Each structure stands twice: as structure tokens, then as C-alpha cells.
Amino acid sequence: MKKPLIGITTGNQLITEGILCGTVRAGVSCDYIQAVCAVGGIPILLPVITDEQSIVIMLSYIDGLILSGGGDIDPGLYQEEPQLGLGNVSPERDLFEITASKYCIQQGKPVLGICRGIQIINVAFGGTLYQDILQQKNDYCLQHNQTSPKYVATHTVNIEKGSKLHQLIQKNSIRTNSFHHQAIKHIAPGFIVNSFTQDGIIEGLESQTSEFVLGVQWHPEMMALNHPNMLSIFNGLIQACQLHSLSALN
């Protein structure tokens, strides 16, 4: 079967030292690329562009989409003013990724959102976020921004039975890494929570209507080498892409 082309969104980063000081680079952590290769996909990096027609043409080439991690999402997109604790936002990246997720979902292309990516899916379809968990969630809260290395699991994520995520992981709970200070507050209509931590923070969502539109708040790509079961999430994406291309043929 044909290897699916998996688009991975990128972010822009200003180089602040050396001969390239002042240059803006488009990029993403190689962990995403390695994870896609490890499950038999072909990774394609997608730069942030703003022309909607060009975005649609770019996305027409890919079989599935990974929304990668990155900075904060503009709270204006869910009708809030910026609160204390909000980090840097990139309106261009927000617009690109919201357009990309809506287009791919409308086309039935599988979508996997990771960290910022789960938040983008939620905001794109009408959900809201905690701009900063520590400032805005007043009750009991775990550490969600770990200082341990990226591949170290630090908190327990409980997985809802009957969810797509449960089908993929086949466990009622897993230990995951955690590198986020924002999180989903109100989940978008048409989506369900598929996993959460003990403090009630939403760690995963999935679409009730699409075959494979799934987000996780942790970083499975960073753990894939040391915790092979994290690859099952990427495997699910690849299988969904293959199913979708088969159904498109019929």
C-alpha cells in the first residue's frame, strides 16, 4: 500500500545569534519527522503561509496532518482579552493552522494535534483554553510543565474506555511527559474528552463525527524511542490515512 504523505505544521523562529542573526527560520523538532518515518509515513514540512487559496492547494497533496507543538494561541480567537501568564502568540500561524485543520477535517483527511495542536483543533471548532493554567485554574493542579528531560514520563493520563485513543493505546491509563502551560477549558461542540489527568486537566480530545481527528496534550513524538507504545498514536494516524485513501478510490 502507498506510503501516506503526512504534513507536519512548522513554526517560525528568530535566530538571535551568529552569522544568521536576524533571520527567521521555519522549522519543527526532528522528533515528529522520526515518529512519522518510524510508522511508515512520509513527512512533509508545511511552512506558515497566509494566502488561503495557496494553503488549500498545499494541503491537497497530503494524506494526513500533524499539528505540531509551539507557542500560545491568540485568546482573541476565543473572544478573550490577554490575561497575565499568556506567552507569545503568532496570528499568522494560528490562522494557517485553523484553516488547515478545518480544510483537512472537511475533506475527511486524518488529523493528529499534539500539544499546541490539540488546542488549535479545539479553538478552530469553537472551544476555549486556559491561557495559563497556574493563573486561571485556581484549585488543585499537577505540574504540567516538567523540568525533566523530554522523554521522561511525569504524570498519569487516564484514558476513557470506548474512545479512539483507548483503542490505540489499549490501556486505561498511561504515564506521559508534559510540557504545557495552556490547556483546554471548554471543549468544542462535536468533540469528546478522551483523556485527563487527576487534576481534571483535559489531556486528549477526539471528534465524534470524523474517522480520525484526535489531539493529545502531551508529546508522544518525544517519547517514541523510549516508550514504543507512544508510536501507536502515529500508527493510528497512518492506518486512518490508508483507510481514507482506499475509500476515496471506491
What does the binding site for Mn ion look like in residue numbers (CB under 5 A)?
144, 178
Q: Which residues contact 162 (CB under 8 A, 6 or more apart)?
A: none
Task: State which residue, 131 or 178, has the beta carbon closest to Mn ion.
Answer: 178
Q: Residues 35, 231: contact at Cβ < 8 Å?
A: yes
**Choosing from 104, 155, 221, 244, which is the catalytic residue?**
221
Q: Which residues contact 138 (CB under 8 A, 6 or more apart)?
A: none
Beta bridge partners of 182: none
* Catalytic site includes residue 221: yes
Say which residue the cell 493529545 belongs to. 216
* Catalytic site includes residue 80: no
Determine the distance from the C-alpha atom of residue 43 to the mean position of all C-alpha atoms in its chain, rounded to a whole number.
15
Q: Residues 133, 181: contact at Cβ < 8 Å?
A: yes
Q: How far is the CB of 80 from Mn ion (least distance, A)?
A: 21
Q: Which residues contact 213 (CB under 8 A, 6 or more apart)?
A: 105, 110, 111, 121, 191, 206, 207
Task: State which residue, 17 or 139, has the beta carbon closest to Mn ion.
Answer: 139
**Choosing from 115, 144, 180, 244, which is the catalytic residue?**
115
Task: State which residue, 45 or 151, has the beta carbon closest to Mn ion.
Answer: 151
Task: State which residue, 144 or 185, has the beta carbon closest to Mn ion.
Answer: 144
- 170-174-176 Cα angle (round to 5): 135
* Catalytic site includes residue 219: yes
Q: How far is the CB of 223 from Mn ion (least distance, A)?
A: 13
Chain residue whose CB lies nearest Mn ion:
178
Query: What are the DSSP E strand ranges found in the chain?
Result: 5-9, 11-14, 24-27, 42-46, 64-67, 111-114, 129-130, 155-159, 173-176, 183-184, 191-196, 202-207, 213-216
Q: How far is the CB of 26 from Mn ion (least distance, A)?
A: 27
Q: How far is the CB of 130 from Mn ion (least distance, A)?
A: 12
Q: How far is the CB of 57 from Mn ion (least distance, A)?
A: 36
Task: State which residue, 145 or 226, has the beta carbon closest to Mn ion.
Answer: 145
**Choosing from 144, 180, 219, 244, which is the catalytic residue?**
219
Q: Which residues are catalytic?
A: 115, 219, 221
